[in-house]
Amino acid sequence: MIDFRDSVSGRFIRYTEYDSMSNPALCGKKRPTTDGQVVLQKALLDELSGMGLECEYTQESVVHGILRANVPNVPAVAFMAHVDTADDVMGNGVKAIRHTYAGGDIRLPGTVIREADNPDLAKYIGSEIITSDGTTLLGADDKAGVAEIMEALAYLVRHPEICHGDVEVFFTPDEETGSGMDQFPYDRMVSKVCYTMDGGPEGEIECECFNAATSTITVSGVSTHLGSARGRLVNALKVASTITDALPQAESPEATDGRYGYYHVGSVTGTNVRAVMEVYIRDFDSDSFSFRISALEELARAVGRIYHAQVDIDTRISYRNMARANEAHPQALETVFAAAKGLGIRLEEALIRGGTDGARMAEKAGIPCPNLFTGGHNYHSLEEWVSVDVMSEAVNLILAIIGCQKGGC
């Protein structure tokens, strides 16, 4: 394996200095939701153009670059990462700290990363890890992915003797707000396979995610003077809470894991006249997913009938299990497993109890989009850390995937 530790870690730390935290409150109102994301995207665009790639900042607010093929008849391959960081804890003002990990707890000015809570740390005794100062997150989600993709591209540009097809990159905004893929330059995309570099620990590959839908249930009640309400008033909030109570507690997020799906009432707002509830439906299996949607809708209508309330339901599919696209185009996974084997990296498939930008791409464009490890841990928290060894490994994996496109892994 090529040693990218110095260069990829330096690049990563440079990217962590950009304040690119996204803001879910501005979803649908502003794209990207924060200006800091554009600053980082424009910096990446400058770097890509400095390397000689064809690149643009698209009208969808996505950085799109292509390193053109230097040999004919090799399929194109795309890599994608998001430039925003989560807002669960402060994501701006990051001061990254390098540590040669000596074992034990890591005491930072703002927090302690406990050995007992982080069994993976033991693998990296004697090697370098990077944390924040404990007062912000680090932003390895997903600046580690951005740095690894950029590092691989820089290497290919420095080594024109390495044969490759078109290598395409996308740096998207607002993944953390769930709106990043609301717009995407599919019309300019040349690759039929894409890898998101947005995963976690060493060796992890995510090929399956939930099927996800949101049902918006609007209950219209009947309002009367409360003094003469008997037999006439229909309280929309009561109807909404009856629907909530009727959902099985054993099929809630807090009672399920692994492959089990769930219903989750995300919000109930309104008055006795009109209540709006949002229910999230999640399931890995598509038949079971369809069943959940129809069962919820039938339940809501039945409760509405019993209470003589009008119930309107609007169910929208958010994303589907990306396993479908991976099964339809098995070469995406075959390639990455072959590439990893060549490097001696053991990949382990993990389930995503959520979605990814890749799942949105798989749903919209039928493009298989597995999610690969970047080396990060404890995302969305002050205790976030990343292994520099694994970042270097991820750069090697990207290069090996590109090499495998030629068919000679």
User: Nearest distance from residue 307's CB to Zn ion, in Å?
Assistant: 42
Residues between 54 and 73 that touch Zn ion (CB under 5 A): none
Pattern 136-175, Zn ion, x by CB under 5 A: -----xx---------------------------------
* Cβ nearer to Zn ion, comparing 198 with 384: 198
User: Nearest distance from residue 175's CB to Zn ion, in Å?
Assistant: 5
User: Nearest distance from residue 384's CB to Zn ion, in Å?
Assistant: 11
* Cβ nearer to Zn ion, comparing 198 with 206: 198
Positions marked active-site: 84, 175
Q: By CB under 5 A, tell whether 384 contacts Zn ion.
A: no
Q: By CB under 5 A, tell whether 198 contacts Zn ion.
A: yes
Q: Which of 169, 110, 118 is nearest to 134 (CA)?
A: 110
How far is 250 from 263, CA to CA, in rounded Å? 10
Residues between 310 and 349 that touch Zn ion (CB under 5 A): none
User: Nearest distance from residue 113's CB to Zn ion, in Å?
Assistant: 20
User: Nearest distance from residue 108's CB to Zn ion, in Å?
Assistant: 22
Q: Which of 244, 254, 251, 255 is nearest to 299 (CA)?
A: 244
* Cβ nearer to Zn ion, comparing 215 with 387: 387
* Cβ nearer to Zn ion, comparing 141 with 208: 141
* Cβ nearer to Zn ion, comparing 141 with 283: 141
* Side-chain half-sphere exposure of 283, counting CA atoms within 13 A: 16
- Stretch of 23-31, 134-142, 225-233, 381-389 lying at the interface with Zn ion (CB under 5 A): 134-142
How far is 205 from 333, CA to CA, in rounded Å? 9
* Contact in structure between 110 and 134 (CB atoms under 8 Å): yes
How far is 260 from 210, CA to CA, in rounded Å? 10
Fill in the amino acid letter for 184: F
What is the phi-psi region of residue 28: left when phi exceeds 0, alpha when psi lies from -120 to 50, beta otherwise? left
| CA dihedral of residues 111, 34, 81, 39 (deg, nearest 10) | -100
167, β-bridge pairs = 67, 77
Please report, as ranges, the residues that interact with Zn ion according to CB under 5 A.
141-142, 198
